[in-house]
Amino acid sequence: MFTDDAGQGGAAPGGPGNSAGSNRRTGGDLVQLITPGGERVSHPEFDPWVQDIGDDVLTSLYEDMVAIRRIDAEATALQRQGELALWPPLLGQEASQIGSARALREDDFVFPSYRDNGVAYVRGVKPADIVKAWRGNALAGWDPYTVNVATQQIIIGAQSLHATGYAMGIQNDGADSAAVAYFGDGATSEGDVNEAMVFAASFQAPVIFFCQNNHWAISEPVMLQSHIQIADRASGFGIPSMRVDGNDVLAVLAATRIALDRARRGGGPTFIEAVTYRMGPHTTADDPTRYRDANELEDWAAKDPIHRLKALLERKGLLTADLETAVAATADAVAKELRSGTITMPEPQPLQIFEHVYSTPHSWLDRQQDHYTRYLASFGDPAGAPSEEGAR
């Protein structure tokens, strides 16, 4: 099935994958296995990769998507209430993150951007740990090696280099795991992403470049930075690519499995463009009404990834009252855990800033710590302990 960037079916003017509003673009069809109305459609190349997905897996995918949307909404509320300094909402991108993350093996390593909290959730990161850095209580919320997820990257696109380097290490170790770099459409205009693809192609590294094209790089529309489909950029590096409906969790799962299989068999890197939409602001400091047409948001809301899967479950007779109750209970539980963990989070102590800077003793850092300790002691508090209200 051919779809345009808004996920609308049919063969668009100018060829598959094009739309009247993007007639300067090229590109093949945008793969879709579940329509916005919840109809399961067939695709000869992608269907074999999800033929094992039974009713129980579909319902668990639905539960994950509902849970991470609830986490996202709760974190947004916590920021508005002054409990978090900032939050990057993922509203509308649940299928891209859950579908791809559920395709991974435990020994695969993820290199996420700041918005990929759904991926972190699937990999086992605790809800409160997801917001530690956004509260300002830690440089990172979790130990990367316990969940095989690197620290979320704030610098746009830098994680693509980290993923490629890690993938080259996998090659040297002779393992069959893979690395995955998550980034948005805006990151593809950064030098880091392009340099990463040069190295990945040259060394045929087992890395997946997973681009969530949510149509807006902060306030810049995707068509301004790329006059072709973003997936087509990868071909210039000799990297095979796929364009999938990023609001279709089944299509995303299939595409990621294909890319992982290629990486494990020594076939090198793959670029996946998951065409989705950021329905919320870039961050809670952003006002999207200043640059985005309300009609555009309305069009994409009709293709909501959770509503789509819910419609499929209804068609299959799986959306029972018991299931909805269980899913709601899971969402309530993770939201409660997130809120409780956030407001009871221990405040960082001043001298903790010197921890985990270097892996071995460092005289220069030791000298700074000594000076800062003596500075704190001048206030009569040698430990630098905060007051009851903390440093906030």
Distance CA 21, CA 23 (A): 6
307 catalytic per annotation: no
The count of other CB atoms within 10 Å of the CB of residue 320 is 11
Catalytic residue (one of 43, 69, 70, 282): 282
**111 phi, psi to nearest 5 deg:** -120, 95
| Cα 310 from chain centre | 21
Task: For residue 347, give the DSSP letter.
Answer: P
Measured CA angle at 363 (ends 360, 365), to 5 deg:
85
For residue 252 the two structure tokens come to: 């995303």
- Residue 270 parent element (H or E): strand 270-275
Catalytic residue (one of 291, 358, 374, 392): 291
43 catalytic per annotation: no
Distance CA 154, CA 131 (A): 14
Catalytic residue (one of 43, 69, 102, 278): 278
- Residue 253 parent element (H or E): helix 249-264
The count of other CB atoms within 10 Å of the CB of residue 13 is 12
Distance CA 175, CA 360 (A): 29
356 catalytic per annotation: no
As annotated, the active-site residues are 278, 282, 291
